[in-house]
Structure formats: structure tokens, C-alpha cells
Structure 1
Amino acid sequence: MTAAAGTNWAGSHRFRAARLERPAGIEALQELVAREPRVRALGSRHSFTDIADTDGVLVCLDALPAEVEVDGDAGCVRVGAATRYGDLAASLHERGRALSALASLPHISVAGAVATGTHGSGDGVGSLATAVRALEVVGADGAVRELVRGDADFDGSVVGLGALGVVTRLTLDVEPDFEVRQDVLRGLALDTLAESFDAVSGAAHSVSLFTDWASGRADVWLKSRTPDEPPVLPGTVRATEPLHMLAGADAAAVTQQLGVVGAWHERLPHFRLDHTPSRGEELQSEYLLPRGLVGEAVEELRRLAPRMAPLLQVGEIRTVAADDLWLSSSHGRDVVALHFTWVLDRPGVDALLPHLEAVLLPLGARPHWGKCFAAEAADLAPLYPRWRAFEDLRDRVDPGRVFGNDWLERVLGG
């Protein structure tokens, strides 16, 4: 046990929990959950708010036995909740296996990323949570239960926001190992994006557009599951030197570009595991809206560009495929994800977010659960068809709100 948990990765939140526990085994975790009135699981600290905080006990699972158990015949891997995606990916690659997607940062923990609906990019690529085949969860009574794809509660439990229990192990789908090349195209005009969006987002397995919104142009990062050089999109030129998406940042922190083919886990993330991603001290927001409304969203954001400019480091546009998970930001629809990396100015960002959400939420945009947003339960409930079903599930598995906290009170309304 230690006295305090310190801050999150970005330094934007200082945890108020009085205790941080690191149980060395599942039984110790069960006993802790069963006896404590309030518990929250703490992952890799890559969320930007108080989502993981508590007035009770924070539990870190990095002292549990590390395990990566690959079942090649079944096409899956069983992994401990605290495992970082970068470490899992390297282990899978050594065994000739791969995940279909990775997020921008390989530094994040598997359970935390899944619970918040974190994603990569690609027209046919679902969020990281869509790879989950089974979950092992310690519930409010300390008992361990397993949820398997197809179970009645499974779709409601995967993107669970930490509200349903402490996830200790996950089973994920895997596929044969593959290679990826990454190329960057410069100068795509945003005023042509609505008409050309399908061609742009379909130009590679994974596509990200980076823009400051004010310039009216974007750089297109293409991650291709083919060694062939992708065609140059109209109005763009191929980058001839490695680029960081943040102006003035060291390109050594990003994964290999310039069309050099390499292992999937060394190209799909934007950042290298052995470097600090982005600039470190920052805030992030993200909103995922129906794909067909990308043109309207781009138009609105270009109008907001002068207001965003003093706070914005970079914006990113990605796509994510639809899924059936109840609280997933891509539940029931293919989406466009609009991401914002802000400077570390919490008052300034908090003042800006209502203006941003005033144009995006009416388009059906859902915020990324692990990032900064202003919307509360009354704003969010209409955006999720299975909202009430999740409330019922939570009432059933955690009626005493052992896993509750202030963030959940604001966002779920109780």
C-alpha cells in the first residue's frame, strides 16, 4: 500500500483517493473488493479526467501475475488486464499473431482502453473493444464471474466504464501476423473533404487526417496492409521526410514512415512505445458522429477554428466501424472520430467545450469516455439506444455503487 496515487499521465488530474492498493493475486483482490465500500480500478493513467478516481480505494493490477496465453487453434489470446498494448503486441508478434487494430498510443492498458471504448482507425476496423471475446470480472461481492461473447450481459459489460466491477483478464481475438507500411500525404484541402471522404478514408487500412482547422488543409497518414505505394490523393504531395503531427515536435517519437514496411505493431500506432507520446502535458477531447455527417461537422469546426486556435495543438479525423456494444461510441453505426489535442489549460478547455458540443452533439456526436467533455447524463442518454439497459445492468450487479464515483454520477446520473 502507498499513501496516494499521484496524477494521471498528462498531469491534468491529481487523484484524491487516500489509498492505492496493488494486490498480488486474484484472491487478495476479491477480499479487498468485498470489504471496501468504494473501489475503482486504476489502469495506465491515460484518461484525462477523474474517470478512474474514487473517495475510496484505488486498485492497480500491475502486481498480478503477467500472462499472455495464446491459443492459435482458437484464434485468441488471454491477457491480464494491466498489460500494455505495446507489450502484448510484441509478444503476439513473436508468436506469429496479431491484433486487427491498435490505438495511437501503445502505452495504454488493455482493460482501461476497452472499458472506455478506445479505438484505432479504419473503415472496416472496430474499436479495441470489438476484439474482446471474454471478460473475467471481480464483482461488488468479491466473486469472480466470466462474461463470454453471446452472453446476455456481454454487450453491456465490455465498454463498462469501470462501473460494473474490476476486470482482471480479457480474451481477445487474434489473427495471423501481418506487415504495414506508413506514408504521409501533405496538403489535402478540407473544403473538398465532404465530397471525397470515402476515397480518402478508404485509401488504406488505417487513415488519419491531421489539421489545425484554421489552415483549411490536412496531412493524411496512411497505414497500408500492402507493400504497394498508395496513390497520391488529389491536391496532395508525398512527404519526403518523417513528420510529427505536432508542430516542432521530434519525429523520433512517431512510428516509421516513408513507406518502409514493418511489423504491424510498429506501424499501426502513431507513437513508439519507448518514447513519450505526443508532448506529454496536454488535454484531449474526441467526439464520434455518424459518418454521413462528416461534411457538416467539418464546416462547423472550420467556423470554430479561431476560437480553438489558442488552445489547439492539433486535430485528427479518423473512422471507426460500427459495433453492438451498448456504451461504445460507435454502437450501431459507422462513425467519424474528431479528435482534439489541447494545451494543458484546463480552465480554457472547459470554457471551450460547451461551444464545441453545441455544434457536434446535435449531429449525434458521442464523446470518448476517457477524454475531456462537458456533456452530462441528460445530454448523453438520448445518444445511446441501450442507455436504459446499461442502467438496469448496473443496478443489478452493483446496487450499492461500490464502483461508483463522482465522474459516474455526472455522466450516468447515479
Structure 2
Amino acid sequence: MQNKTNRNLSPTGQTNSRLTSLSTGLSDSIITNWAGNIQFTTDKVYFPDTVAEVQELVQKHDKLKVLGSRHCFNRIADSPDYLLSTKRLNKIISLDTQAHTVTVEGGIKYGELAPYLHEHGYALHNLASLPHISVAGSIITATHGSGVGNGNLAVPVQALEMVLADGSISTFSKEKDGDLFNGLVVNLGAVGVITKVTLALEPAYQMQQVVYENLPLAQFTANFQEIVAAGYSVSLFTDWRHNSFTEVWIKSKINNNHNNSVAPAFFGATAATQPLHPIAGVPAENCTEQLGLPGAWYERLPHFKMGFTPSSGVELQSEYFVASHYAVDAIQAIANLGEQISPYLFVSEIRTIAADNLWLSPCYQQPTVAIHFTWKQDWLAVSKLLPLIEKELAPFQARPHWGKLFTMPAEVIATRYEKLDAFKNLALQLDPTGKFRNEYLNQTIF
């Protein structure tokens, strides 16, 4: 264990705090998530600068929850007691050119890490639609991008440094800890504070992005595998108002610096002639470059540019995962709810994710299709729609995204994760008093 510092750490909202407010525009007394639909139930937030400070804070408090970039839409990170933000733990520790790995502090955002990696000739295997999210927050909730061959963002994790409930530092690795490590990576913030992460890398690559408009649903159901495998990463968007996908975003690697040809049609859809936003009618200036223009991997894999706010954030999000062999039937079941869903929806997105062995990953040992909903911020209406969606997806053993909105009860979730009991036992070993657990975790997992 590192030695404690002698600094007088105190949270925001208390007298003589040396720590600043969470971010520009937020008061010390009101803390919200990115979307503004969650107001945290405490104003006491710590912003440690060092791992030693994290240790001191963990030892000091009986209850503590960790904040990442606050992009979750439920109360997974909430606490009535104290919050610890990893915002300032955002450094790149080392780049290992022999092992082809990078070690970073957990609070770094992908949009901050990616340019550094590219400059040094490296890349990550995938990115989420937003580059604004933190590495640690993303991996503990199994955040993902798309691509039939691409696992979620937790898959490249090779090692974790964590501050455990007693304030000690432990390092876990894929090589040393075997299947136990698979239980620790997607941990929902229930086992400790992730201070360092080691990620596997691959050589940097160039990509291009092409968008097609109005893909008939009938073509999708008849040619599902070919469509989702048409690029390195494929996303389909719809508002469920018509029997079609309004947009198909295909992100492809460029080989030998030669652009791939852009076909004018794609399974009945037509190539867009101008950049598009996933939501119809919204300007595309914040979106990553389209129209087949080449660019670095980190400038094409996300849907939105790091330098821009992707939207106002005035939205709600839900997402459900089904095994790929259920995809066509599951999507047709949602399409049948189109008239009920569409008035309250901005857009839905369909993505694919490769199977993995991470215990609480929605893609555990199954190639997966994710059905995502970006809702208008009307929780009363959405709260009534989610049970209908979950009922329609029940035959397909759907798993909800841990960081988004759902109404699925704990007893149902327990049937969808065969390693859930093993994870609970692991969490109880590492945090026997439940220091890092909160109401969300107690109700959903414990």
C-alpha cells in the first residue's frame, strides 16, 4: 500500500473545500448526469489527483461511489453519502511497444487517449459512438461500439489496478488471474476504484465511412448476416415509423491507403449525397466525416466528434442485447410496436458485438445484437413503454444495458447471467461491508 498523503481532503459542498465543482456550469449543490435526467442525491464530491488520495478517501468513508464521465442514465453511480470523481485521474502512464499495450489512469476519456495512440502508430480495436466517455466507466458497464468481429470496450483490458475497500492497492491481470479476471472487469463499480487500466493495442489504421438511406426492413430480415458484416463496424438507425431503416452507417478499414469504392446502392438503400445525423433533420456538423472520406480510426469509429457536444443531452436511453440468432425475430417484434414507440423516440440504433468471456457482459459467450433507444425526455411515457418492450423481448432472453434505463426485475436478470452468483461472491470477498454498493446495485444484483 502506498503511504497516505497529509493533504486535508474534503468534498465539495463543505466548508473550506479545496476541491472545485464537478464541471463548468454545475453548482456545488446540484450534480446531474450528462442527460440531466438524474440528480445525484449528494453534493459531496471528491476530486483526487493521485492514487494515494484515492486510498485515503476509501479508508476514510464507510460508503463511497465512483463517478466517471456521468454518461449513465440510471442511478448506477448514485449515492446519498459521498462520490469520488476520477476526472483528474486521466494520465497516460506508459506505452509498452514490446507487449503492444498502453496503461492509463481510469478517468481518461477515449477521445483524449486515441490521438496519442495514433501518433505513436497504435489503435484500439473499437470505440463507442461517443468518444467523450471515460475508460474505466466504459469497461465496468461493458460499453460497446459495433462490428460482428469486435468485442465490447472491456475486451482489450489486460490488467487493472484497483483501490479496494480497505484502502489497499491490488493489481489483477488476465495472465495471472485467469477466469477470476473475467469476473472483475465488468464490475458495475461494486468491487473498488479502478485507478489504472492496461489495454491491448493493434497497429493504427485508416478508415472511411459511408451512409446509406432507406434500407427496407424486408431486406434486413432476408439478408441480416450480410448487412451487419458489410463493414468493420455497421450501425442501422430507425424511428420505427416505417418498415425501413432510415440510415445505415458502414465504417470500413482502408487497405494500402486506397479508398474502398462506394457503391451507389446497398440492399435497396441509396448512398447519401451529403453528411447526415442519425436523427432526421438534425445538422450533421457534430458527426464524424462521411461520404467515403478517409481518416484515422478514431475519427471514424465514433458517430460524433470529440471536439463537439453530440447533442444537448436532453434525452433518455435504453438498450437491450439478444443473441445474434434471435436478432431478426427480436427486431421484428420491436417493429410491431412501432406506432406505440415512435411518438416518444428520437431514434433507435441496431449494432452487433462479438462474444466474450466477461461474466457480467451482455455478450457473455454469445455473439450479440444490441437494440438501442434514444428517447425524448419523457420518463412517464418511457416508463410505460419499457415493460412492453421487455415483454416482447422476453422470448429472446434479452439483457439490459447496465448503465441505461430498464424496468426488468432482479429475479429476471438473474436468469440471464449464469455467472451472476459467482460475481456476487467475488464482490463480497473484495468488499464484504458493501462500501461500494448502492441502492441500484442492491436492488439489481445483490
What TM bracket, shorter-length normalisation? Answer: over 0.9
Q: Distance in 2 between matches of 1:220 and 1:305?
A: 19
Q: Deviations over 1:178-222 (max 9, x none)?
A: 000000111111123222011101100000000111211111100
Q: How does 1:8-407 map to 2 (within 5 A)?
A: 8-64=33-89, 66-150=91-175, 151-152=177-178, 153-218=180-245, 219-226=247-254, 227-231=259-263, 232-407=265-440
What SS class does the counterpart of residue 243 from structure 1 fall into? coil
TM-score after normalising by structure 2: 0.91
Q: Which has the larger radius of gyration?
A: 2
What SS class does the counterpart of residue 224 from structure 2 fall into? helix
Which ranges in structure 2 are unaligned for 5 or more consecutive residues? 1-10, 14-28
Q: Distance in 1 between matches of 2:377 and 2:287?
A: 21
Q: Distance in 2 between matches of 1:310 and 1:220?
A: 22
Q: Deviations over 1:56-85 (max 9, x none)?
A: 210012223622421111110001111000
What SS class does the counterpart of residue 305 from structure 2 fall into? coil
TM-score after normalising by structure 1: 0.98
Q: Is the 8 A contact 1:68 1:91 kept in 2?
A: no
Corresponding residue of 1:2: 12
Identity, % of aligned positions:
44
Q: Is the 8 A contact 2:219 2:267 kept in 1?
A: no
TM-aligned CA deviation for residue 5 of structure 1: 5.7
Q: Is the 8 A contact 2:321 2:370 kept in 1?
A: yes
- CA distance 1:411–1:230, shift in 2 (3 Å): farther
Residue identity matched to 1:24 = D
TM-aligned CA deviation for residue 279 of structure 1: 4.0
Q: Distance in 2 between matches of 1:220 and 1:247?
A: 13
Q: Distance in 1 between matches of 2:262 and 2:129?
A: 21
Q: Is the 8 A contact 1:203 1:230 kept in 2?
A: no
Residue identity matched to 1:326 = W
Q: Deviations over 1:369-413 (max 9, x none)?
A: 11111112101011011111101101111110000101101210x
Which ranges in structure 1 are unaligned for 5 or more consecutive residues? none
Would you say how many aligned residue pairs link Structure 1 and Structure 2? 413
Q: Distance in 1 between matches of 2:419 and 2:267?
A: 41
What SS class does the counterpart of residue 336 from structure 1 fall into? strand
TM-aligned CA deviation for residue 163 of structure 1: 0.3
Q: Is the 8 A contact 1:106 1:271 kept in 2?
A: yes
Cα RMSD of the aligned pairs, angstroms, is 1.2
What SS class does the counterpart of residue 64 from structure 1 fall into? coil
Q: Distance in 2 between matches of 1:75 and 1:196?
A: 37
Residue identity matched to 1:130 = V
